[in-house]
Every structure is written in C-alpha cells, then in structure tokens.
Structure 1
Amino acid sequence: MAASPATDEGWMAAAARLATRARPLSRPNPAVGALLVREGRVVARGTTQEGGRPHAEAALLARLGPREAHEGTLYVTLEPCAHRSPRGPACADLIAEAAPARVVIGQRDPDERTAGRGIERLEEVGIKVDLLNDAFAARSLVGYLYRKRLGRPYVTLKLATSLDGCIATADGSSRWITGEIARAHVHAYRAKADAILVGAGTWRADRPSLDVRLPGLAERSPRRYLLSRGIAPDGVTVINAPEAIARMDGVQYLYVEGGGEAAASFLADDLVDELHLYRAPILIGDGHRALGDVGLSDLADAHGRWRPVERRQLGSDDFTAYRRIRDHEEN
C-alpha cells in the first residue's frame, strides 16, 4: 500500500520519487531528493544536480528566502553530508544555518566521511532529527548503497523472449522479438543506468548501439561495456569476467542486456539484483535459448530467490520485474 503524503513515510516516499529524476545525471554522487514541508504543503523541492553538485539540500535551500525554512520539516532521502569539499559546502552546515524545526532522514549515509556526523551536526544546533530507515528511500538509493556496502553496482538484467523462452531464431535473428512500446520501455531504463553491458556474442551478431533513443534523453545514454576476452571496440570498455564490475569507476547502476551466455554468467555468479523479463506473444521453437548454464545443480535451490515487484502490459508484450531476495536486505 502506498504511504499517505500526510505521514513522514508518505513525504519520504514523495522525496524518493523526486530523487529518481536525478539519475544518472547526478553521478558520481547519489541521486538524492529533498522536500521542505510546512503546514501540510510542499514549500520547496531539491534534487542532486548534474555532475553531483549542488546536493539536493543545497539546491532546495537556494530557492528559499532567509527565514523560510523556519517552522518547516525538511525531508531528505539520505543523511546530509558533514564533510566540506572544494566543490561545495557541507549540507549539514547549510541546514543548521537555515534552521528548520525538524529534519527527517530516509537513510543513514554509509560514507565514512558522514556516517552519523550529519545527524550530530544538526542536533548540536537544536534541530530535531528523525531517522526512518525508510524502504522507499533505500530503493531510490540502492545503487549508491550497493556500491558503498558491497563494493559493486546494482545490476539489472534484461531479457526479451518469446513465450517459449527464446531470444532469437535458429539462424540468430532477434530483431525484433518485442514491439515498439516494450522497446521504448527498455530505453527508459537505459536512461537511468550509468552503464550498459552485453556479451561478445551479442556484439558480434548485432553490433548494438546501446544508446538511448527517446526524444530529449539522448544525452543520458549510458557508458558501454562488453563482456569479452577480446579487444575493446571503439567507445566500448571490455571486462573479462562478471566480478570485474567492481572496478567500474563511478558506476552505481549497471544494465545488462545479454545475450544468453552473458546473462547466464551473471546469474551463475549471483550478481543479478533485478530481473526484467519482457515476453512477446510469439513461439519460436528451435531457436536460441534465453539462458545458458546458470550453475543450478538442485531444483530446490531455484526456489525462494526471486520475488515479483512489478507487472504491466506493454502493447502486446508482457513485462515483469523480479528482485533478488538477499539476506542483507529487509525490504
């Protein structure tokens, strides 16, 4: 059930939705959302700006007059930074000066330069602070949290298949299995990713452009990666194993588009955090299967690993998103 905007959880959910607008332009910084609420209405909004500065709180406060934050509640998805930088002031200092009555924080910042110090700075000047450990905020920051806590980006694997699980005909033809609406949906997800990856087989067969071809979003095309042991083509970076994603500098969100062997290798190494499955109402029969060997030796191990989180119809195609169930995540 969606949280009511009249509650702290509701306002935080709104701030989290706002934060998604900053992806991926906020890189290398996390995409953060902030709302100033007074008497039940939003007074100002802010998101992390292009290139990571100004931060969401600074962008919000810059829109206010000298005392407009007084008596208001500031909702921010991530703990305000406490460290000064040549690129800008510490947000905790800016908020302390603006003096809102209360600050509600969605997630504590795992960055050791802040990690509780932002909260301490606000409490030092008498501002009431509430830390929610909010699920909506965590989802909006999942790439940043994975990078900080696990040392790698959050990985989404996209598969577009026929009803019988094929990604191409027997002769390798794969354009197009899904329809135009589904393909536009994929491009919208590309636009939110820092990097996109395909396997060597897909590269050889299709030479995909891996860009964003939606009006007004071409500049959000992600950095291109190839899973291969060969030489990197122009404009593409090669990694030779899935675990090498840990060395993708500045990448918080990685979108893997296959093909079957690349997808299987990421699944076998348990590096897929979200699975996007597009299914077209067609049957191919003797074609290329969506996946190779994923390392499954016991059928019992296949259960309890994925939960559906979204379903929708995209023209004649069906889209379902699944999230990997992980022990370190409660939500």
Structure 2
Amino acid sequence: MNPPPSTFDPRWLVGLDALAEQSIGLSEPNPRVACRIIAPDGRAFEGHTQHAGGPHAEVMALRAAAAAGADLRGGSAVVTLEPCSHHGRTPPCCEALIEAGLARVLVALPDPNPLVGGRGIARLRAAGIEVQVLPPAHPLAVATRELNLGFLSRMERGRPWVRLKVATSLDGRTALPNGASQWITGAAARTDGHRWRRRAGALLTGIGTVRADDPRLDVRLVPTARQPVRVLLDAQLAVDRQARMLQPPGPVWLYCASDSANTPHRAALQALGVQVLACPAAGAPLRLDLEHLLRDLAAREINELHLEAGPGLNGAFLRAGLVDELLLYLAPTLLGPGAPLAQLDALHALSGGLPLAFTDCSAIGPDLRIRARVLPRPAGGVAAGQ
C-alpha cells in the first residue's frame, strides 16, 4: 500500500528546466532530463542526462548524494520525465530510486516511449513509493515538453520534429539573383543559429545548396560535446567528393534515389566514411519521398531535424506539411529581386496560406529572430525536388 499523500515543496522544482537544458548537445537520442533528490536532512543533489550510454539524470543525482555520504532513505525526488523501467543502454532508473529507499517521487511529464509508457510510475508505486505527476499545464511540465519536442515527436508520431531555419532580408530574400548570400545576417545571428544546430540530432540540406554554397553544416561557433549527423539529399549521387560537408567532423548520411544507390560513386563516398542510404522516389525525377525519409531518420533515433536548405527543398517540405517550426533570422535590409525563402505554389485565396503561430520574437544583434509554429492543417503531398 502506498503511503498517504504528502506535499512536495515547490522550491524543489525551481531551476530544474535550466538543469535539463544542460543535456542539449549531449544526450541525443535520449531525452533531456533533470533530477533533484532531497535527503531527509534537507540537502539536495542534482543531475542531468549525460551522453547516450552514460548515466541518466537520476543516476547522476544518486551519485552526487553517495559522494556526499547522504542517507536518502525516506527522501524525495523530482524528475522532469518519468524514470525508465527497461534495460536499454543503461539499467532501469526506477530500480535505482527504489534501491535508494526514497519515499516519494514527483514526475513532471510521463514518458511516451512504448518501452516505458507508465511502467516506470507503476513500478515505483508497486514498491510503495508515493508518485505524483504534475498537471499538463504546470510550467515545469510545459517546459519539459518544449525541451523534448523532438523526442516526443519521434515516440508519438514516428518522425522527428522538423525545424526549418532561414536567414533573409526584411523583404524575404535569401540571396541575390546572382546567388550572393553571405552574409545577409550578422555574426550574432550566425552564432545563435549554431546554438540551434547544436540541439538537433541531424542537420539536413540538399545537393543544390552544397553546389551553390559548399557549406560545412557543422557546429563550430558554440561549444558542443557532439556533432549532429549531417544529412544530404542527393538523388543522383552527384556530390563532389571534395565538398566540405563530407569532411570531418561528424558523421554524414547521404540519401539518394534507389536506382542510384549502386553506382561506382557510392564506393568512393563510402571510402570517405559517408553512409549512403537509398530512398524511394516520389513523383517526378530527382524527387525523394520525404515522408519515408523522416520515418527512416526516426528509426535511426533522430529526434530533432534542423533543415538548412534552398528555396526548392524548403518549399517541398512546407508543401508536404512536414515542417513543424520555422526559425527565421531577418536582417534590417531590403534586397529587392532574389531568391525567396521557399518556393511555394501560387494561391487563389488568402485563406489558403500556411497558418502559423508566433512563439518568439527576439533581437539578436542587429537582426530579428522569429520562431513560428506551424498550425494543424490538412495533409499535403509527399514529394520533393532536390
């Protein structure tokens, strides 16, 4: 039988969202989780999720308590995500909390992972531990959900959270007619963009962007413990082997059309360490099935997909209804004719526009950063041109 309900001190929750954020750029593909354990004598011990295969937040907090010689029997724990109950890369965290002799655990958000899915809470309660779950509207629950949008998307929808990043002029141009685009926005915006790259499991672009800009597409302007996977859509395996995107650091996955997967160029790319993956075609030539692509990336444990591409590929993702969020950097300049942020179909009525909801508007140096969430709409097509 569970002990009678007790009151959790609200102060135990303060700063846990910031603690969980320390797992950004570190814990992929695991969720970003924080744990605070309070011993009966009032001392608190904290931890957050480490690299994949490393200790989870609960274990880090327990280790801190052990190092301090604290007796946790009868103590409390606050965890931002339901403790795992299965053997994955590490043993179950709920068993570690049970073995520590805790009396109560507060969970900010249940884990949608089918391997957990309430089993962690049930296991704690079966051991006689009082478990409370915060209401969905609680600020810590909301913050935990926002921090783990990619993980939740992969578990609940079977695809990553797709964030489309674009730097434009105030009139929406990403390049001049001659292709010049460096740099429309300033240094502060570029650094901020790398912070958003760091939190992604994979960075994606198309062969058109590689040919035009030869980007490195890595994280280098901010510190990071890991490099995201770099994903290139190249239907015909046309990429130059000297392209900067194919060079270290970090892994590279190249998706090509299924009928191009066995060309001689494939062996040369694999010799560079590039993983060449076949993707079904959809529609016209040189188009890959983007829905299949996202399902495959989810199967490879990609939580957040950061898209930095040209107008064609941006438009393809948007038309297919596969973008979840826009990350826009607007420079205080007007450029006139030039490349748009996305190639979209002509509309016959204003009501046909893609509905968005602004979630953030911040000054980043001289530029403006706008985040906009894509609102639900009927499903579109599935094909994209590269």
Q: TM-score band, normalised by the shorter chain?
A: 0.7 to 0.9
> Which residue of structure 1 lines up, in the alignment, with residue 311 of structure 2?
260
CA 1:51 to 1:311, structure 2 compared with 1: closer, same or farther past 3 Å?
same
Q: What is the match of residue 371 of structure 2?
A: 321
Structure-2 separation of matches of 1:24 and 1:216: 9
The equivalent residue for 2:333 is 282
Q: What is the deviation of 1:38?
A: 5.9
User: Which protein is bigger by CA-based radius of gyration?
Assistant: 2
Summarize deviations over 1:19-77 as a string: whole Å, max 9, x none: 22212321232222112246897711111111242111111111113654345431112
Partner of 1:100: 102
Whole-angstrom CA distance in 1 between matches of 2:196 and 2:14: 20
Alpha-carbon distance in structure 2 between the residues aligned to 1:120 and 1:294: 50
Aligned pair in 2 of structure 1 residues 302, 193: CA closer, same or farther (>3 Å)? Answer: same
Instruction: Name the structure 2 match of 1:73.
Output: 76
Q: Quote the residue 1:44 is aligned against.
A: 45
Moved more, 159-168 or 96-105: 96-105
Q: What SS does structure 2 have at the residue aligned with 1:262?
A: helix
**Residues 279-321 of structure 1: CA distance to partner in whole angstroms, max 9, x if unpaired?**
0011111111111015856421436x32211111111111111
Tell me, in whole angstroms, the C-alpha distance in 2 between the residues paired with 1:28 and 1:264: 28
Aligned to 2:265: none
Q: What are the equivalent positions in structure 2 for 1:297-308 lying under 5 Å apart?
A: 298-302=349-353, 305-308=355-358
Q: Is the 2:32–2:147 Cα contact (8 Å) retained in structure 1?
A: yes
Contact 2:357/2:372 (<8 A) preserved: yes
Structure 1 residues 221 and 113: CA distance shift in structure 2, 3 A: closer
In the TM superposition, 1:181-192 aligns within 5 A as: 181-192=188-199
**Distance (Å, rounded) in 2 between the aligned partners of 1:316 and 1:138:** 31
- Please report the TM-score for the alignment, with normalisation by the length of structure 1: 0.88
User: Are the aligned partners of 1:13 and 1:137 in contact in 2 as well (CA < 8 Å)?
Assistant: no
1:83 aligns with 2:132: no
Write out aligned runs for 1:114-153 (5 A).
114-132=116-134, 133=136, 134-153=141-160
Select which of 222, 226, 230 maps to 1:220: 226
Taking structure 2 as the reference length, the TM-score comes to 0.76
Residue 112 of structure 2 corresponds to residue 110 of structure 1 = yes
Query: Which letter maps to 1:21?
Result: Q
Contact 1:199 1:261 in 2 (8 A): no
**Aligned equivalents of 1:296, 1:61: Cα separation in 2:** 58
Structure 2: how far apart are the matches of 1:272 and 1:106? Answer: 27
Q: 2:264 maps to what in 1? A: none
Which residue identity does 1:31 align to in structure 2?
R
The residue matched to 2:317 in structure 1 has which SS? helix
Residue identity in the other structure for 1:275: L
Q: Number of residues paired by the alignment? A: 318
The CA distance in 1 between the partners of 2:76 and 2:346, in whole Å, is 50
- The one-letter code of the counterpart of 2:94 is A
Measure how far apart 1:159 and its partner are.
1.0
Residue 200 of structure 2 aligns with which residue? 193
Please tell me whether residue 250 in structure 1 is matched to residue 266 in structure 2: no
How far apart, in 2, do the equivalents of 1:306 and 1:282 lie?
Answer: 24
Matched residue type, 2:100: A
* SS of corresponding position for 1:118: helix
Aligned to 1:3: none
Contact (CA 8 Å) 1:12, 1:76: kept in 2 or not?
no
Counterpart CA distance in 1 for 2:303 and 2:348 is 31
More displaced, 141-150 or 129-138? Answer: 129-138
Residue segments in structure 1 that go unaligned for 5+ positions in a row: 1-5
Over 3 Å counting, the alpha-carbon distance change for 1:53 and 1:61 in structure 2 is: same
CA contact (8 A) 2:39 2:70 kept: no
TM-superposed CA distance for 1:326, in Å, is 4.2
Contact 1:163 / 1:280 at 8 angstroms: preserved in 2? yes
State the distance in 1 between where 2:148 and 2:43 align. Answer: 22
Query: CA RMSD of the aligned region, Å?
Result: 2.4
% identity of equivalent residues: 37
**Structure 2: 5+ residue runs without aligned partners?**
1-7, 247-251, 256-287, 378-386
Distance 1:52 1:22, change over 3 A: farther
State the one-letter code of the partner of 1:253: E
